[in-house]
Amino acid sequence: MNQVQLSSLQKQKRNPQPTFLKKNGLTLVFTLLFLLSLVGQFFSGFNEHNNDLEENGQAHISLSKYFTSGHFLQATFENWESEFLQMTLFVVLTIFLYQKGSSESKSVDGPEEVDREPSPKRKDAPWPVRTGGWVLLVYKHSLSIVLALLFLVSFILHFYGSLQDFNEGQLIHGRPEINASSYLSNSKFWFESFQNWQSEFLSVVAIVACSIYLRQKGSPQSKPVDAPHAETGE
């Protein structure tokens, strides 16, 4: 073994390649937490819904039927809807709105790296950048497009589930069902939406404002601990 190979081997031992778990730990942990929470919501909601049915003299439903019930769909997508609305607006509004001193804002002093026009000559540029045209146009806005579509899908499924749940209650109490167009102006549906939207907007205000003066060592969502309050950006 020559000196170059020996040096390369020693370097690899000192700086081993990160494992799959290390490279994807954040996504994997939050995905696991999401799945555990969803399972917990499903079974607790299943028991709650059957208890409500029993109190109203109705028969219990099965797990499979509960999975497509208005009770489960409404509760699930009501929350997803607000999350994707928050993320869509945050991604879009931070393009041109600023907060001096916040780690969640671009600098107020001028353009940053994320503002530059993509170059196909850049080393290892993604294929849409090299392709150009409409493919690049879509890719330049792909994050906000996908988040907006996820919000729209969640909004529709929330509406569908909420309508189902509302009409189920109507039938139990001997009242007539209503159609989708009538339910669109129903205060119950909009109450479900607004109570989640306001909490998401409040959380954005909290992280934007708190990151001006507060720090968390080691977190990319915080400025360095010794950074001045007026400094903008992570």
Q: Tell me what pLDDT residue 48 has.
A: 95
My answer on whether 49 and 79 are in the same domain is no
- With cut-offs at 50, 70 and 90, classify the pLDDT of residue 190: very high
My answer on whether 23 and 111 are in the same domain is no
pLDDT at 128 exceeding the cut of 90: yes
Phi, psi for residue 67 in degrees, rounded to 5 = -60, -30
My answer on whether 51 and 154 are in the same domain is no
* Mean pLDDT, residues 171-184: 92
Q: In this structure, are residues 150 and 177 in contact, taking their beta carbons and an 8 Å threshold?
A: no
Residue that is last in its domain, among 50, 66, 82: 66
The number of residues making up the chain comes to: 234
Q: What angle do CA 223, 227, 228 make, to 5 degrees?
A: 120
My answer on whether 35 and 83 are in the same domain is no
* Mean pLDDT, residues 119-131: 90
pLDDT at 10 exceeding the cut of 90: no
Tokens of 170: 């109507």
My answer on whether 44 and 110 are in the same domain is no
Q: Tell me what pLDDT residue 232 has.
A: 86
Q: What angle do CA 111, 114, 119 make, to 5 degrees?
A: 105
Count structural domains, the chain.
2
* Mean pLDDT, residues 177-190: 94
Q: Tell me what pLDDT residue 234 has.
A: 67
My answer on whether 108 and 149 are in the same domain is yes
My answer on whether 111 and 150 are in the same domain is yes
* Mean pLDDT, residues 161-181: 93
> CB atoms < 10 A from the CB of 152, how many?
14
My answer on whether 142 and 233 are in the same domain is yes
96: containing domain: 68-234
Report the share of the chain in percent with pLDDT over 70.
93
My answer on whether 25 and 103 are in the same domain is no
d(CA 165, CA 187): 14
d(CA 113, CA 46): 49
The residue that leads in pLDDT, 31 or 2, is 31
Q: What angle do CA 82, 208, 203 make, to 5 degrees?
A: 30
* pLDDT tens for each residue of 79-104: 999 999 999 999 999 999 999 999 99
My answer on whether 127 and 34 are in the same domain is no
Q: Which of 9-18, 64-73, 215-224 has the highest mean pLDDT?
A: 64-73
pLDDT at 5 exceeding the cut of 70: no
Instruction: Provide the mean pLDDT of the chain.
Output: 91
My answer on whether 135 and 232 are in the same domain is yes
Residue that is last in its domain, among 5, 40, 66: 66
pLDDT at 6 exceeding the cut of 80: no
Task: Indicate whether 9 belongs to any domain.
Answer: no
CA distances 188 to 52, 104, 158, 192, Å, are 18, 34, 12, 6
